[in-house]
Amino acid sequence: MTDFIKARQTIGSITALIPEAGDAIALDNPQVALTDGESGDVDFPHGNMKPIATIGEYDEETGVMIVGVPDGIGAMLSSDDTVRIVVQSESYLPSFSSRSSQLGESYPFKVNKDIDFVVNNGSAGFTGSHVQYVDYTREGLLNFMESDEPASSFVVGSGNLIERSYNLKGELVGPRSPEGPTTFGAHYGNCDAEGNWVVKGKPIYADWVMQSLCSASLSEKYMWGEGIGFEDDVFITNEEWITLEEDATTYVGLSAHVIDIDTKTDYAIGAFTNTGFEKIVEFNPMDEDYVVLSLSGKNTKNAVSIFDK
């Protein structure tokens, strides 16, 4: 594994672009834009692009790779000199993917590693979607578009944004019971209310599936003014869709997830009901006593929820 990792690219070292200005086949000489490992058509009409990270790159300090199909993203200053980019992947269990032949089970990320559980002692593992971050120097990003250096020259850290996880019952997520219901610490996006697994297929390398995290939003503390908005920096995301076993008759449902960025703690949130969402975005409540969130749903019409702080 060490030899394999060393043969990969470190975060930000790939300079070729995945996006293209147009279909390469439409170019006068399409072979120029069809070279493995090189950019395609980069004649973008509204400005230049450069990659700051590419899926499959790894952190040379920890060996952790950026994984999955990137979707929701957010950015904030984590210090006066450092910018934190948060990105999640829209990934799922191959057994019910429309592209199962092309997709493998993503490597698991562990949660609650420092907790002793009453039942099934040990940490829990999630496959499917990850939420990860990369830290860059602020100066490096400021000068990046005019620089010849790759983004790897100003990467200062990375990791998984979820290290601790709570389920809809407020329990720390624990290992899945290999036989029968998981009575404590179940991830209810995969289960019925008793903790019985009801999702089509089971992960091989993990306990649970963090299913298809879609778009997302990042809200900084008091984003709308002193005392107005969330009281912590949070990343808000949501599980989007799921496929159940054909004989499943009961199911809890997919929840939203709110991640405390400072503590790296994920909270499954059912206040919006349990369904599939595309995006949850904070609005300015213009009041210190409330937080306002707008929902864009798969199975519901767009709605606005107001929460008393």
Over residues 3-54, the pLDDT tens digits come to 666 667 999 999 999 888 887 777 776 665 677 788 888 889 999 999 999 9
Tell me the pLDDT tens digit for each residue of 55-65.
999 998 888 89
**Torsion angle (degrees, nearest 10) of CA 166, 75, 104, 41:** 170
Paired sense of beta strands 70-79 and 82-89, if any: antiparallel
For residue 24, tell me if it sits in a domain: no
Q: What share of the chain is helix, strand, coil (3-state, %, to 5)?
A: 10, 30, 60
Bridge partners of residue 297, in order along the sequence: 277
For residue 215, tell me if it sits in a domain: yes
CA 48 vs. chain centroid, Å, equals 26
Angle at 62 between CA 61 and CA 63, to 5 degrees: 105
Q: Is the pLDDT of residue 139 over 60?
A: yes
For residue 195, tell me if it sits in a domain: yes
For residue 21, tell me if it sits in a domain: no
**Mean per-residue pLDDT of the chain:** 88
Tell me the pLDDT tens digit for each residue of 203-219.
988 999 999 998 999 99
For residue 43, tell me if it sits in a domain: no
For residue 35, tell me if it sits in a domain: no
Angle at 128 between CA 116 and CA 64, to 5 degrees: 75
Instruction: Write the CA distances from 304 to 86, 172, 285, 294, integer angstroms.
Output: 25, 29, 11, 4
**Torsion angle (degrees, nearest 10) of CA 48, 54, 55, 59:** -160
How many folded domains does the chain comprise?
Answer: 1
* Token representation of residue 154: 């100003």
> Shortest CA distance to 90 belongs to which of 298, 295, 271?
298
DSSP secondary structure of 181-197: ---SS--TTSB-TT--B
Bridge partners of residue 75, in order along the sequence: 85
For residue 156, tell me if it sits in a domain: yes
Do the Cβ atoms of 206 and 125 come closer than 8 Å? Answer: yes
What is the spatial distance between Cα 15 and Cα 17, in angstroms, rounded to a whole number?
A: 6
For residue 29, tell me if it sits in a domain: no
Domain that holds residue 264: 2-16+51-308
**Torsion angle (degrees, nearest 10) of CA 255, 159, 96, 4:** -170
Lowest mean pLDDT among 88-92, 140-144, 262-266, 272-276: 272-276
pLDDT of residue 118: 44
